[in-house]
Amino acid sequence: MPCLMHYVSQRVLGVHSIILTLCLAIWCVPVQAETCPSEAYSVTGIAIDSNALTGTKAREVGIADATEMAFAKVIDRIIVPDKVARATMLALPADSFVDFFHITSENALAQRYIAEIDICFDAAKVRGALISAGLQWAELFSPPVLLLPVWQEPSGVRVWTRDILWLNRWQDFSDKTDKLVRFTMLEPDVALERSLPARPLLMRDKDMLAKAAQAAGAVQVVWLYAGLDYSNSVPELIMLAELYDADGSLLAVVGQEQRSLNGQTNLHVAFDSFQEDVMNVIEQSWHSSNVYVVDNRDEILISVDISSLTDWYDVRRKLSQIAGIADLSVVSLTAKKGALRAQLSGSVEAVQLGLQEQGYELVSGTASGHYALQLEVN
């Protein structure tokens, strides 16, 4: 007979409690979870597998370890890469910042606890700790950025081939990364290879880069080259990373390195080191452009056409979820139009970007600091 399955969701109020249905093992199936108010402070799909003298102790240890791991992931996501800043935040008790967590599945045994949970941290508390420590951070996720690795060797150029170390390393990174800059990659197939052949991509053909960005729905492309150069007495590994916009125009060189292949160069280590350096440059650039503003915040006036109170509440909810908006207040409301004053924690461009991802467009009005909120028309 199957066990009674149920869902456990709880807010942290000092003492955790959980209702267990007794059986040989207790399994909870995933159900729709409460949404974390700020996505930047949420970590989902955390796997727990802990052992202890009792099942209760195993659960306590497992959830405590998962909370520390998740908190570290949030801190790594929102602060500019810095060892001292990271150590400062991670020295604080992670459980004191938890807003709520969801146990989406679990199996409680006599001396073992297996589960998958989601944790939402209290954004206000984490921000307070960051402010107290004098640190800067960002919360806005980027639109998709395409990673386009290219590998060149004497036998030819490879972009869509599988089982090439350089290409696989970037695919693994794209699958695992969970920071503010959202990277994506194109899935290789015959049609894609025909429409985006390797040689023009090697040459950074502008039209081809634009076509690749369009295929991925990306706003920028990171062109990632690695090749073997045998023109000198000692072969060399050449790595180059360049950032392009969606039209295929060069924005910046974000990484460049050459290494002698003298028998002591480990390609795995070389690729990983270069990858880390390039990603740090891109992440730091994004953070610097979208730093959360604490003092001297700008304010804008947002007007929106509505047809019902449901529309009005929906707009306010969406605006309150934008990372660049710190506070909202109602200025006026009629049957067909509403106006809100938004206090910004970032730039207007960051707010526009966040709204664009939700299907809205923030259009500048005739007066300074006045904007109109509209549904995007594709």
Task: Give the pLDDT confidence score for residue 7 in this predicted structure.
Answer: 30
Q: Decide yes or no: CATH 3.40.50 for domain 145-289.
A: yes
Name the helix (H) or strand (E) containing 269: helix 267-289
Query: For position 364, what pLDDT does the model report?
Result: 83
Q: 299-375 has which fold?
A: Alpha-Beta Plaits (3.30.70)
pLDDT for 269:
93
Q: Where are the domains of the chain?
A: 8-132, 145-289, 299-375
Q: How far is CA 1 from CA 25, 26, 272, 332, in A?
A: 12, 12, 50, 59
- Name the DSSP class of 138: B
Averages of pLDDT over each 10 residues, the chain, 378 residues: 32 35 34 73 95 94 96 94 90 96 92 96 93 90 94 93 92 92 91 92 97 94 95 91 96 94 87 95 89 75 88 85 80 88 79 78 79 68
Residue 303 structure tokens: 């007007």
Distances (CA, A) of 205 to 196, 197, 248: 10, 11, 8
Helices (H) and strands (E) in the chain, counts: 10, 15
Q: What pLDDT, on the 0 to 100 scale, is given for residue 376?
A: 60
In this prediction, residue 6 carries a pLDDT of 30
Exposed / middle / buried, residue 165 (Cβ in 10 Å: 0-12, 13-18, 19+): exposed
Rounded distance between C-alpha atoms, residue 17 and residue 34, angstroms: 18
Distance CA 102, CA 48 (A): 13
Which tokens go with 218? 């990306």
User: Residue 108 pairs with which residues in a beta bridge?
Assistant: 113
DSSP conformation class of 241? E
